[in-house]
Structure 1
């Protein structure tokens, strides 16, 4: 029994290692690309590129339709129905990608300063988003290394091309085209690995399953949409209230901060199958596992935030140069939002396991609403730094304080509080730590 448990534990550890290794490499590559693009494009053009990518990110949520976590759960719970699940989810996402593409291109008719070719090339990436469903399939099979390799190869080639084009002065249009190359290469590799692992496949679309999945995912989708809105609304409001320079400065800082946000998502995606199994077999172990995960997530985020806070000005000047000096103050505040983002990664998986989808909408909706209101007042009083404070506070509301609103989520609020008290305050009395163990 012990040998079996050890083997299973090693399997999950290796699965997590593949995903974390890929993410660390992608983080380094992504940061390098951000620095090069920011330096060579300047605050104004860099801001416009971020606008196009922000719009793409918003519409990617429409394509995913909140199905990613549900796909893992469905495949894990009903492996014999794998072909039907994969077929149904893929067709749903293809339909959504067409709608998203039309919406993105229609923005060209609304704005006066839109670059048609930048929008077009960026929007083309939407048609390859449905293939990301295969990442969920690999996760359900605890074979994340295939998704990791595909991600590394695609990102290495695509981001390398972006940096070469930026240094060569090729301009925004070619950089947008390079972004599509990243998505195409990654999708192609995902398909190749899927064919290697699954020799036989039968297309089996089910309207009944599609309807059931969409109903389950609707609240998750609305919550995810709210999350992206409050993630990007600050840049939109800065554009209208302060202008392009403020957007460029804020984007430079927030990209450094947000680059780390995918790490908790990857870590939780890797252990998600284990959480599902524990929730069905051992409630006490399930709760212990969640507390341990929150401890690790908060400690990682707080350590990161503290280090960046102390070095924010030096980091900005070193990476971006004198033109982005104002981004240092933004980064020193914005980075602390990671503490709430990291812990919320577990909360998001808890929502799926418990099928408490309404909490995704409520908490993310509160975050989006508070971010809009706070940005309006804090930008007016504190400029671009006010937007960073608005982000930090709204993330705290969405990922932490909002859990007090319901009896079902209050235990998670208590767990998060324990993690914060354990790691954020070094002077916690020993008896508090002992009582926590008890």
Structure 2
């Protein structure tokens, strides 16, 4: 298996996606500080709805596209043409669903205005962005796939920064923010046209088992967005604002290990299509190791001292969100374990099992957000997110053969190192928190590399290959 190529693609995605995600996160956090919890609650609801309806333009279609395009007999131009047509149909459907839901669910004219200016441009943009992103992922040109995300991210972050700089109303900010998706969509299609025609033929195999992927895709994008939407019904807009702010940081953090999954996906599908289950399981375990290693590492700073980050980034007014941030940071760890398990099932043709687990997780999520959110507000919402991820972990594990040994091989050194690092931080002085947060995070990374030789050797091989490439260029 070409693990070096996968790591190379992951590094391209990391450099582009994570950089822009951080910029977007910073701009969103600053916006929250600028407009206050209630106004940010309105903005968060709009973003949550836009994310859900935007993903309706895909709803699992990218998975069937990846499955088909990794087959040896695949005709890429034919598949991308079919993919675009179906996504446009899905985009129209998403717009209709959004209109009905917004009309029936919200009476506040101001809230509806903000939602409309963000939701519909997002649907249009993501319809075409998804085509470009999936196309270049299939060709394993992750740099171009990342570039599309970067264009959109810079556009949306610029909208927020300009809004604060020129004291725009939230309505104007929402208009500019939504427009960034349309611009990115146009850019994506133009980029694809340089490599392939997008109006050539039809391949109905793209629709095989699409319903199963659609159900799963809808659930995947709904789960992270349920918090603000349900809490708005059972709690207050202020609680929504605090929860969304605490949730924002883990949501951005998860994009980092998520990049790793994107790089592994085409190769896993290839092994699955060829029924090469030995290499498939081995590669899945490497994915689990790397994702959990990174997921835990980036969560440690926000678990050991969440108050420092909340107060530093948002001010004392937002201190209430500190405990929720600590709890939600564990969600990143669980997601970095769950995603490889879910990919394991999907790329082996067992998508129906993944969908069943996701459906159960959705029921647990809705129930817990309603009950815990109503009774415990902000903290209830935080615990609901964790409960959902634990449900998914148990469900995926039931369908993977020898799942306990698979999990232990992938995460044991990462979990041990995390436990030691967490305990170590409790004995460090409270002065200069940023210094000791960095120190304990570095300690975690070094401990894993000392214990797990496979991760160490893979990273060492990647670094050596980059050095050789640099040397050959310079000579």
The runs of 5 or more residues in structure 1 that have no matched partner are none
Give the counterpart of 1:238 among 228, 231, 240. Answer: 231
Q: Partner of 2:192 in structure 1? A: 194
Residue in structure 2 matched with residue 317 of structure 1 by the alignment: 311
Contact 1:294 1:346 in 2 (8 A): yes
Aligned with residue 268 of structure 1, among 261, 264, 267: 261
Query: Matches of 2:47 and 2:312 in 1, distance apart?
Result: 25
Q: Distance in 1 between matches of 2:19 and 2:127?
A: 24
Relative to structure 1, the CA distance from residue 139 to residue 383 in structure 2 (aligned partners, 3 Å threshold; closer, same or farther) is same
- Counterpart of 1:325 in 2: which secondary structure? helix
Q: 1:183 aligns with which of 176, 181, 184?
A: 181
The answer to whether the 8 Å contact 2:82/2:202 transfers is yes
Contact 2:311 2:318 in 1 (8 A): yes
Instruction: Return the TM-score normalized by structure 2.
Output: 0.81
Match of 1:256 among 237, 249, 253: 249
Deviates most, 333-342 or 264-273: 264-273
Report SS of the residue matched to 2:57: helix
User: In the TM superposition, what whole-angstrom CA distance separates every residue of 1:292-316 from its partner, at most 9, and x where no partner exists?
Assistant: 2211111211222222111211101
Aligned twin of 1:129: 126
Is this contact kept in 1: 2:64–2:213, CA < 8 A? no
Counterpart residue number, 1:145: 143
Shift of 1:47: 0.9
Deviation at 1:24, TM superposition (A): 1.8
The range that moved more, 371-380 or 29-38, is 371-380
TM-score by length of 1: 0.88
- The 1:79–1:38 alpha-carbon spacing in structure 2 relative to 1, beyond 3 Å, is farther
Provide the rounded CA distance (Å) in 2 between the counterparts of 1:124 and 1:196.
Answer: 25
Task: State whether residues 62 and 225 of structure 1, in contact with CA within 8 Å, keep that contact through their aligned partners in structure 2.
Answer: yes
2:407 to 410, 416, 421: 416
Q: How does 1:24-423 map to 2 (within 5 A)?
A: 24-78=18-72, 80-110=74-104, 111-115=106-110, 116-122=112-118, 123-131=120-128, 132-198=130-196, 200=197, 202-206=199-203, 209=204, 212-279=205-272, 280=274, 282-398=276-392, 400-406=393-399, 409-423=400-414
Across the aligned residues of Structure 1 and Structure 2, the Cα RMSD in angstroms comes to 2.5
For residues 155-198 of structure 1, the C-alpha deviation after alignment (integer angstroms, 9 at most, x for no partner) is 22331122111332212222222222321222232223222223
| Cα distance change of structure 1 residues 369 and 202 upon mapping to structure 2, 3 Å threshold | closer
In 2, Cα distance between the equivalents of 1:304 and 1:333? 14
CA distance in structure 2 between the aligned counterparts of 1:282 and 1:106, rounded to whole angstroms:
46
Q: Distance in 1 between matches of 2:243 and 2:165?
A: 22
Instruction: Spell out, residue by residue over 1:49-107, the C-alpha distance to the aligned partner (whole angstroms, 9 max, x if none).
Output: 11111111111222102011221221221565222211211111111111211222234
Instruction: Measure, in 2, the Cα distance between the counterparts of 1:125 and 1:382.
Output: 32
TM-fit CA distance, 1:251:
0.3
Measure, in 2, the Cα distance between the counterparts of 1:114 and 1:335.
Answer: 34
Distance in 1 (alpha carbons) for counterparts of 2:198 and 2:216:
33
For residues 383-410 of structure 1, the C-alpha deviation after alignment (integer angstroms, 9 at most, x for no partner) is 3112211111211111x1112443xx24
For residues 244 and 236 of structure 1, the distance between their equivalents in structure 2, rounded to whole angstroms, comes to 10
Shift of 1:380: 4.6
Q: In the superposition, relative to structure 1, how do residues 109 and 73 fare at CA in structure 2: closer, same or farther (>3 Å)?
A: closer
Deviation at 1:108, TM superposition (A): 4.0
The answer to whether the 8 Å contact 1:52/1:119 transfers is: yes
Q: Residue deviations 1:213-259, cap 9 Å, x none? A: 33412122212322333322222332222211100000000011111
For these two proteins, the number of residue pairs brought into alignment is 418
Structure 2: how far apart are the matches of 1:35 and 1:188? 28
Q: 1:229 to 1:125 in 2, by over 3 A?
A: closer
Distance 2:156 2:368 in 1: 36
